[in-house]
Chain A
Amino acid sequence: MEPELIRAAQSGDRDALITLLREIETHVYRTAYYILNNEQDALDAAQEALIRIYTKIGSYEEKAQFKTWIQRIVTNICIDKFRRNKPTVSIDEHDMVFHEKQNVEDEVMSAYAVKDIQAAIDKLPEHHRAVVVLRYLQDFSYNEIADSLDLPLNTVKSYLFRARQQLQTLLHDYQKGGVRG
Chain B
Amino acid sequence: MNCQEVMELMQRQLDDDLSESEIEVLMSHTRQCPDCAAMFERLQLLSAELTSLPKVTPSYSLVDAIMPQLERLELFGHKEEEQPVVIQTEPTPRRAKRECRWPSIRVVSGVVAAGIVAGLFLVTYKPDISPDFASMKISMSSSDDSAANSAQEEPKAFSLKTSKDDESSTPAEVTTEALGLGDQRMMTESESLDQSEETDQNGQPSSGSSGLDQESSNLDNKGLAAGGASGSSDGFAGEAAEGGIVVTTISPVISPDGKFAGHAVGFKLEIIAQADQSIVFTAPRKNGELINLVWSEDSGLLTYEVHVENGATEKYEIDLATLTEKKAAY
A residues near B, CB below 8 A?
A: 14, 18, 21-22, 25-26, 28-30, 33-34, 39, 42-43, 46-47, 50-51, 54-55, 96-100, 102, 106, 110-112, 114, 117-118, 132, 135-137, 141-142, 157, 160-161, 164-165, 167-168, 171-172
CB distance from B41 to the nearest CB of A (A): 10
Can you list 19 pairs linking A and B with CB atoms under 8 Å apart? A18-B67, A22-B61, A25-B61, A25-B62, A30-B56, A30-B57, A43-B58, A46-B58, A47-B65, A47-B66, A50-B62, A50-B66, A54-B70, A97-B59, A111-B45, A161-B7, A161-B8, A164-B46, A168-B46
Residues of B within 8 A of A100 (CB): 54-57
Q: Give B51's nearest chain A residue, CB to CB.
A: A136
B321 within 8 A of A: no
Q: Which of A14, A99, A111, A167 contacts B59 (CB 8 A)?
A: A99
CB distance from B18 to the nearest CB of A (A): 13
Distance of A61 Cα from B15 Cα, bound (Å): 28
Distance of A118 Cα from B98 Cα, bound (Å): 52
Distance of A160 Cα from B62 Cα, bound (Å): 30
B residues near A, CB below 8 A?
A: 7-8, 11-12, 14-15, 17, 39, 42-43, 45-47, 49-59, 61-63, 65-67, 69-70, 73-74
Are B11 and A164 within 8 A (Cβ)? Answer: yes
Are A136 and B63 within 8 A (Cβ)? Answer: no
Residues of B within 8 A of A14 (CB): 74
In the complex, number of A-B residue pairs with CB atoms less than 8 Å apart? 111
Q: Give B58's nearest chain A residue, CB to CB.
A: A29
Distance of A167 Cα from B50 Cα, bound (Å): 10
How would you classify the secondary structure of chain A's contact residues: helix, strand, loop or mixed? Answer: helix
Q: A29-B56, A142-B17 are in contact. Are A51 and B63 (CB under 8 A)?
A: no
Are B62 and A46 within 8 A (Cβ)? Answer: yes
How would you classify the secondary structure of chain B's contact residues: helix, strand, loop or mixed? Answer: helix
Are A136 and B50 within 8 A (Cβ)? Answer: yes
CB distance from A140 to the nearest CB of B (A): 10
Q: Which of B15, B17, B49, B63 contacts A50 (CB 8 A)?
A: B63
Distance of A167 Cα from B11 Cα, bound (Å): 13
CB distance from A98 to the nearest CB of B (A): 5
Are B49 and A110 within 8 A (Cβ)? Answer: yes
Residues of A within 8 A of B50 (CB): 117, 132, 135-136, 167
CB distance from A50 to the nearest CB of B (A): 6
Residues of B within 8 A of A172 (CB): 42
CB distance from B76 to the nearest CB of A (A): 11
Are A22 and B73 within 8 A (Cβ)? Answer: no
CB distance from A1 to the nearest CB of B (A): 15
Residues of B within 8 A of A42 (CB): 58
Are B15 and A135 within 8 A (Cβ)? Answer: yes
Are A99 and B57 within 8 A (Cβ)? Answer: yes
Are A18 and B63 within 8 A (Cβ)? Answer: yes
Are B70 and A51 within 8 A (Cβ)? Answer: yes
Q: Give A162's nearest chain B residue, CB to CB.
A: B11
CB distance from A97 to the nearest CB of B (A): 7
Residues of A within 8 A of B12 (CB): 157
